[in-house]
Amino acid sequence: MTKLASLAVAFSRRWPLAEAEDWDRAGLIVGVESSEIRKVLLTVDLTSAVIAEAIDSGFDLVVSHHPVLLRKSQALTDDTAKKRMLAAAVSAGVAVYAAHTNADITDTGVSASLARTAGLVDLTPLVPGEGGNGHGRLGRLAQPATLLEFARKLAAALPSTATGVRVAGDPNQLIDRVALCAGAGDSFITEALQADVDLYLTSDLRHHPVQEALEFAAAAGRQFSMIDISHWAAEWLWLETAREELATEFPQVTFVVSDLRTDPWDFVVTQ
The answer on 191 and 121 residing in a single domain is: yes
pTM of the model: 0.94
The answer on 200 and 109 residing in a single domain is: yes
Q: Is 5 exposed, middle or buried (0-12, 13-18, 19+ CB in 10 A)?
A: middle
Residue 197 lies in a domain: yes
Residue 239 lies in a domain: no
Residue 9 domain boundaries: 4-103
Distance, CA of 189 to chain centre: 18
Q: How far apart are CA 7 and CA 95, in angstroms?
A: 11
Crossing angle (nearest 10°) for helices 48-56 and 81-92: 10
pLDDT tens digit at each of 271 positions of the chain: 899 999 999 999 999 999 999 999 999 999 999 999 999 999 999 999 999 999 999 999 999 999 987 765 556 666 788 888 899 999 999 999 999 999 999 999 999 999 999 999 999 999 998 777 999 999 999 999 999 999 999 999 999 999 999 999 999 999 999 999 999 999 999 999 999 999 999 999 999 999 999 999 999 999 999 999 999 999 999 999 999 999 999 999 999 999 999 999 999 998 8
Strands 137-146, 127-128: parallel, antiparallel or unpaired by DSSP? Answer: unpaired
Domain CATH for 193? 3.40.1390.30
The answer on 91 and 116 residing in a single domain is: no
Residue 114 lies in a domain: yes
Residue 261 lies in a domain: no
Alpha carbon separation from 65 to 49, 98, 101 (Å, rounded): 16, 5, 8
Number of domains comprising the chain: 2
The answer on 77 and 165 residing in a single domain is: no
Q: How far apart are CA 194 and CA 184, in angstroms?
A: 19
The answer on 128 and 81 residing in a single domain is: no
